[in-house]
Amino acid sequence: MRLSRRKFTTEFKEAAVRRLELGASIGEVARACEVNPNVLHRWRRELRDLGGKAFQGNGKSRAEQNRMAELERKVGRQAMEIDFLARCLQHVEEQRKLQALATHCSSTRTSKKK
């Protein structure tokens, strides 16, 4: 049985780090938040190093995910249309060449008969 990876909100992480800064011990906050103490150390380091840009990794909103999926579908449809039109163009070119050969051959025969 595989455990799913837990995801924490930015607010949750900031609140945990804030508790550390207020003097709570790592062990106490880790037990209260039910996370590994190493995770708290990482969160504190990220917040210290990156400031307001910390914890943006899992922060995609539902609207952003929907927009991304919509754009991926659109790209897929356009790729299919391009393939279809390329095949149509290839078919038209082949037909044009065959027609040119047919008219060229028939005009050569008639000119030779004269």
pLDDT at 59 over 60: no
Query: Is the pTM of the predicted complex or chain greater than 0.85?
Result: no
Q: Given pLDDT bands bounded at 50, 70 and 90, which one contains residue 108?
A: low
Choose among 1, 106, 15: nearest CA to 55.
Answer: 15
Q: Which residue has the higher pLDDT, 8 or 73?
A: 73
- Please state which of the ranges 1-5, 12-16, 17-21 shows the lowest mean pLDDT: 1-5
Residues in the chain: 114
Per CATH, the number for 7-59 is: 1.10.10
pLDDT at 79: 96
- Segments in 1-114 forming alpha helices (H): 10-21, 26-33, 37-50, 62-113
